[in-house]
Structure 1
Amino acid sequence: MPIEVTPGTTDTPHAAWLVLPRLRVQNANAISSPMTWGFPSVTAFTGFMTALERKLGPDAGIRFSGIGIVCHGFEAQVTPTRQGVYTHSFALTRNPVLQDGGTAAIVEEGRVHLDITLVLEATISDALLDDDQRQACANAIAQQVAGMRIAGGSIMPPTQPTTLQTRQRRFKAKLVRQESGFEQREKQYKRLSRQWLPGFALVSRDDVLHARLADMQNNAVPDTPAPTLLDAWLDVARLNIRASLHPDTQAVEWKPDARPGWLVPMPVGFAALSELHAPGTVSGTRDPRVPFRFVESVYSIGQWISPHRLSDCTHLMWQPTYAPDTGLYRCTNTYAEHAAAAPQTETYVPLSIAD
């Protein structure tokens, strides 16, 4: 029967985690925004969460409020170019011939093979409080997921391990009830996170972006344009190597800037460029039955961190949010608040930068 979902709900018998381990995704989209490439956007996974909930239907007794992403393998479909081993190009496929027999133009499509584990924060009904019923639900969801797509990529059967014990522990979908109490839930997460190794979890680091902007503004050269969020985003996204004089030998030393971890630029949502149009009033839309508006990509900084270094599963979760006043569709994650005191202002870096 339909149930209500409160994001981040804990200490209730209906709070659970759905673990979909070791999903192999073939030919996922590697170009998720106009300015970044690589791992698919977080919005692709929140969209997968929404699509899965719709396929299950309101009578499934389970609702999702967040999704965590752990990557075990990343294989970009690229080939080295003649410029050198550090320059690569996407391995593209030519489209079928046209009606007149001519060859169609090649469309730039970046592809990547992924090996990932998805952890969905869920609220379950009373019918799923029984262990056997939860496992039956997890098995049914795994069958449903096998016929879906993630970031445009096809979900392939996992490579089965040789031992039955490892197969049951790491390669089987599980619907786990959350323990009551912070300490019990922390121990439960530690047990689960060890099963996701080796791998790296994607979390938000908005605090690093704002800290870098403040540092650039404090060290800005007089009579020059003030640094913006875009400047800070580009500075964090690249590897900076600076020259300095050794105090004793007066020799020049080149050192990279210190970084708090494996930081990556990434899109985290969309910002509205127009008003919300009524369904069917804009031609060429994907679904003429729903409202439509023009948007642009929103960027932030993420970090890949080993899942066993997180203290709580809530720090792993990404939740889709919407601000009607600003037209901001953004995926949020609470790890930045745990790592450092996050600023009170909304953090996003659209193409036309605004603070």
Structure 2
Amino acid sequence: MSSPTSRALLVLPYLRIQNANAISSPLTHGFSSITAFIGLMWALQRKLATQGIPLQLLQVGVICHDYEEQVVDGHVKTFRLTRNPVDKDGSTAAIVEEGRIHLKITLVFLLKQASLPDGSTALLIQDNQSALDEWARKLGDTVATMRVAGGTVLPGQPRPGQRTRPWMAVLPEDAEAQAQCFARWRRQWLPGYALVGRDDLLASRLTHLRERQPQATVLDAWLHAARFNHEAGAVEPASEEVGPSRPGVRWADPLRGKGSGWTVPIPVGYARLTAEPVQAGLVANARDARTPVSFVESVYSLAEWISPHRLDRVQDLLWRAETDAQKGLYRCHSGYARSDAQRLDEVMPDFD
């Protein structure tokens, strides 16, 4: 059976990306920004249109299996930079700092069937697995020719077991059946960690700071959560840590205790700096002279790396892009939600 609301998952497992962008924003580095994968989704959507594949990509999820940031270890890590060829006059070319990282990731796309002419038969159905397999193969071949977060896709390595190549599956419309399917699929993405949004942690951190500093801002909370904040006596020392030669005071971060999770600061989009976009053609050297241009700065939040087997729903894994033209906010939202989560707008109403 099919319906206009049928959804499917496209999974591109264990992609090897070489030299992806490791500078995700002016304030963060490491794993590539989630906006880069949203951009990949849109670029892939345009290629689908040229190939005549009637599918529409809606959301994307990222699972990281391995990474190797190209840095030189030391007291302060520095990027491994490349020497550019000499200039036309033979002089030494300037070095432009760039951060690179090698990744092994699995990409998960949520998609639906695009509009079909009247009288056409729906193709995104469970009984049409041969067509799904063919689409998955074509999409996998297409992504292999594209840039992923600025990096190059390397040829895949043979792996034992099932689901080692691109595959598609229609999501059951029944919530219980969908949860059962997802419980089976998520085991294929182990070992690895999925990146999920945690705006609620930023909200709780802001509430915590305002108990001591009533004038604390969201930026203060984000910076506070992005580092370790050790305090003396914040955590009770274990019995073996107390002795005649030990004062019995333990230094620790009270907000990063056992079970607090692997949280990281990330950029989640952009905010427009002007009241309205600049008219098309008025900004020199713009990429597209037919599209209005906006000058923006990065928008930041918190995220968490979670093992896929700890996710209960497909939506927990996925990110979507949303635009608020009135506020000039272009940001990515995660489908991950906790019942005990505190919303950021509850403590900062003018922040979206």
Of the three residues 41, 47, 58, the one matched with 1:65 is 58
Quote how far apart the aligned CAs of 1:341 are: 4.3
Q: Which amino acid aligns with 2:191?
A: P
- Distance of 1:79 and 1:132 partners within structure 2: 48
Q: Residue 250 of structure 2: SS of its match in structure 1?
A: strand
Q: Which runs of 5+ in 1 are unaligned?
A: 1-9
Summarize the Cα distance change of 1:12–1:183 in structure 2 as closer, same or farther, 3 Å threshold. Answer: farther
Quote how far apart the aligned CAs of 1:256 are: 2.5
The number of aligned residues is 329
1:211 equivalent in alignment to 2:204: yes
Contact 1:239 1:257 survives alignment (8 Å): no
- Distance of 1:111 and 1:339 partners within structure 2: 37
Report the equivalent of 1:253: 250
- Distance of 1:61 and 1:273 partners within structure 2: 37
Alignment of 1:96-107 (within 5 A): 96-107=85-96
Q: Which amino acid aligns with 2:77?
A: H
Quote how far apart the aligned CAs of 1:287 are: 2.3
Deviation digits for residues 196-255 of structure 1 (CA, Å, limit 9, x no counterpart): 0000000011001011111111233xxxx7111111101111112110186997632212
Contact 1:319 1:331 survives alignment (8 Å): yes
Of the three residues 241, 244, 250, the one matched with 2:230 is 241
Report the equivalent of 1:7: none
1:23 equivalent in alignment to 2:12: no
- Distance of 2:65 and 2:339 partners within structure 1: 24
Contact 2:69 2:100 survives alignment (8 Å): yes
Report the equivalent of 1:148: 146
1:50 equivalent in alignment to 2:50: no
Report the equivalent of 1:186: 179
Contact 1:17 1:120 survives alignment (8 Å): yes
Contact 2:345 2:351 survives alignment (8 Å): no
Deviation digits for residues 290-321 of structure 1 (CA, Å, limit 9, x no counterpart): 22110000000000000110100111110010
- Distance of 1:110 and 1:23 partners within structure 2: 20
1:36 equivalent in alignment to 2:35: no
Deviation digits for residues 165-202 of structure 1 (CA, Å, limit 9, x no counterpart): x2xx2421011100121111011011110000000000
Report the equivalent of 2:218: 229
Quote how far apart the aligned CAs of 1:258 are: 3.5
Quote how far apart the aligned CAs of 1:34 are: 0.6
Report the equivalent of 1:138: 136
1:88 equivalent in alignment to 2:77: yes
Quote how far apart the aligned CAs of 1:11 are: 8.3
Give the superposed CA RMSD.
2.4
- Distance of 2:15 and 2:95 partners within structure 1: 29
Q: Which amino acid aligns with 1:265?
A: P
Greater strand proportion: 1
Of the three residues 154, 157, 163, the one matched with 2:155 is 157
- Distance of 1:31 and 1:255 partners within structure 2: 29
Contact 2:6 2:173 survives alignment (8 Å): no
Task: Indicate the larger mover: 240-249 or 294-303.
Answer: 240-249
Structure 2 length as normaliser, TM-score? Answer: 0.88
1:333 equivalent in alignment to 2:325: no
Report the equivalent of 1:74: 67
Q: Residue 252 of structure 1: SS of its match in structure 2?
A: coil
Q: Which amino acid aligns with 2:21?
A: N
Task: Indicate the larger mover: 300-309 or 53-62.
Answer: 53-62
Summarize the Cα distance change of 1:332–1:14 in structure 2 as closer, same or farther, 3 Å threshold. Answer: same
- Distance of 2:154 and 2:79 partners within structure 1: 22
1:278 equivalent in alignment to 2:274: no
Contact 1:206 1:347 survives alignment (8 Å): no
Summarize the Cα distance change of 1:139–1:271 in structure 2 as closer, same or farther, 3 Å threshold. Answer: same
Contact 1:15 1:178 survives alignment (8 Å): yes
- Distance of 2:348 and 2:147 partners within structure 1: 30
- Distance of 1:242 and 1:48 partners within structure 2: 43
